[in-house]
Amino acid sequence: MGKRRVLIMYATMTKNTEKIAQVYKETFEAYNWDVTYLRLKGNIDWKEMQKDLYFDDYDVICLGSPIVGGSPLQIVQKLFSFGGGGELEKSVQKKLDENKTGSEAAEAAVPPKGPIWRKNRAPYAGVLNKSDSWPLGIVFSTYGGGFYGSMEAVPTLEMLGHYLRSYNVNVVGKFCCGGKETGPAGIPNGVKPPKDFVPGKDISSLEPADVVDATVYEMADGTKMPGSYFFHYDLESKPGERELAKAKYFIQDFIEDYFMTYDGNPAVAISEIISIS
């Protein structure tokens, strides 16, 4: 039996999501998988990379992005959303402005240039190709969690999952954990958040919010730890040892449950492995 193959693609800004992607790479390799590892960014020579980007050639596709303003990074949206926010959208709008119908506009629209994710096209536009393989998929993200906590991650994970499903990938894994952020939640424990956050400005120079001092908690060993003003605790250190361990165990469970079967064939994908924290 030949090696299983996985394609790990991710976007990153502050290297939080990259840390998770790196753990995925190392864990798959530990199970003797063939790993193709790619950071998604604007200056990639897609023509040069194309031979390694066909989903048909892989058993698993992993797609990751940090969350900015509630969405994946723009590079991910442009590569997987059939042109949303790019040339396709502009083309549709131009046709609509010329008083064409919506269907005529969509018909005339031309998708932006970029990688081709499948070798075979569907017989006509608007449907999936029935003859395609269905690799399993994992979507992952890191986020600050300063507002509502882990539920903030759900829309982005669903969006990433939709992108993969649009190319006949059966998404059965979702992973998300906290990551150090550059926003108001990216301050040390116990430090009062600023009253008015200004991106890029030193928080110590801003007026603190009018809130009580953080409660101090005493651990069993006598260590004292200040409480957090935000949902996630200690965002300064995330993703740290705990989060990276979660990522490793997540992939171990995925590989063992879906691919280490008695007959060598992947398990039927009727369940999901989810870790959102």
Q: Name the pTM for this structure.
A: 0.86
For 82, 84, 130, 154, the CA distances from 96, given in Å and listed in that order, are 18, 16, 32, 33
For 182, residues 6+ apart whose C-beta sits below 8 A from its C-beta are 14, 199, 200
* 143 closest CA partner among 65, 89, 54: 65
Whole-number pLDDT of residue 198: 76
Strand partners, 273: 173
155 and 270 housed in the same domain: yes
97 and 225 housed in the same domain: no
Number of domains making up the chain: 2
- 227: helix, strand or coil: coil
- Count of helix runs (H) and strand runs (E) in the chain: 7, 8
Which residue has tokens 């790619």?
38
Strand partners, 8: 37, 62
36 and 85 housed in the same domain: yes
Q: What share of the chain is helix, strand, coil (3-state, %, to 5)?
A: 35, 15, 50
The tokens describing 224, both together, are: 């004292």
Q: Which residue has the higher pLDDT, 93 or 159?
A: 159
167 and 190 housed in the same domain: no
69 and 163 housed in the same domain: yes
45 and 111 housed in the same domain: yes
Q: Are 235 and 191 in contact (CB under 8 A)?
A: no
DSSP string, 74-129: HHHHHHHSTTTTSHHHHHHHHHHHTT--HHHHHHH--PPP-----SS--SSTTS--
Sign, Cα dihedral of 115, 120, 122, 127: negative
Tell me the per-residue pLDDT of 165-215, one tens digit each, with 9 for 90 and over. Answer: 999 999 999 999 998 877 777 788 888 888 887 777 777 788 889 999 999
215 and 158 housed in the same domain: no
Whole-number pLDDT of residue 27: 98
127 and 224 housed in the same domain: no
61 and 128 housed in the same domain: yes
Tell me the per-residue pLDDT of 113-158, one tens digit each, with 9 for 90 and over. Answer: 678 898 888 888 788 888 888 999 999 999 887 778 888 889 999 9
Q: Are 237 and 244 in contact (CB under 8 A)?
A: no
Tell me the per-residue pLDDT of 24-74, one tens digit each, with 9 for 90 and over. Answer: 999 999 999 999 999 999 888 999 999 999 999 999 999 999 988 788 999
Phi, psi of 130 (to 5 degrees): -65, -25
For 71, 147, 151, the CA distances from 83, given in Å and listed in that order, are 16, 30, 27
* 211 closest CA partner among 198, 225, 230: 230
74 and 195 housed in the same domain: no
The tokens describing 105, both together, are: 């506009």
The parent domain of residue 224 ranges over 186-229
Which residue has tokens 């101090």?
216
Q: Are 247 and 177 in contact (CB under 8 A)?
A: yes
146 and 260 housed in the same domain: yes
Whole-number pLDDT of residue 86: 56
Strand 136-143: give its sheet, edge to edge: 34-39, 5-10, 60-64, 136-143, 170-178, 273-276
Distance CA 129, CA 110 (A): 20
CATH of the domain at 39: 3.40.50.360
Tell me the per-residue pLDDT of 79-121, one tens digit each, with 9 for 90 and over. Answer: 998 665 555 556 655 666 676 555 544 444 444 467 889 888 8
67 and 119 housed in the same domain: yes
Phi, psi of 143 (to 5 degrees): -160, 165
What's the whole-number mean pLDDT along residues 243-264? 97
